Amino acid sequence: MTKPSPFKWFKTSPEIIRLAVMLYVRFPLSLRNVENLLHERGIDICHETVRFWWLRFGPMFAAEIRKRRVQGLKSSRWRWHLDEVFVKINGKQHYLWRAVDHEGEVLESFVTKRRDKKAALKFLWKQCVSTANPR
- At residue 125, does pLDDT exceed 90? no
Q: Is this model's pTM higher than 0.85 or not?
A: no
Three-state DSSP state, 64: helix
Instruction: Please tell me the least confidently modeled range out of 39-48, 60-69, 71-80, 100-109.
Output: 71-80
pLDDT at 72: 62
Give the C-alpha distances (Å, rounded to integers) separating 102 from 46, 67, 112: 38, 18, 24
Residue 16 has pLDDT above 80, yes or no: yes
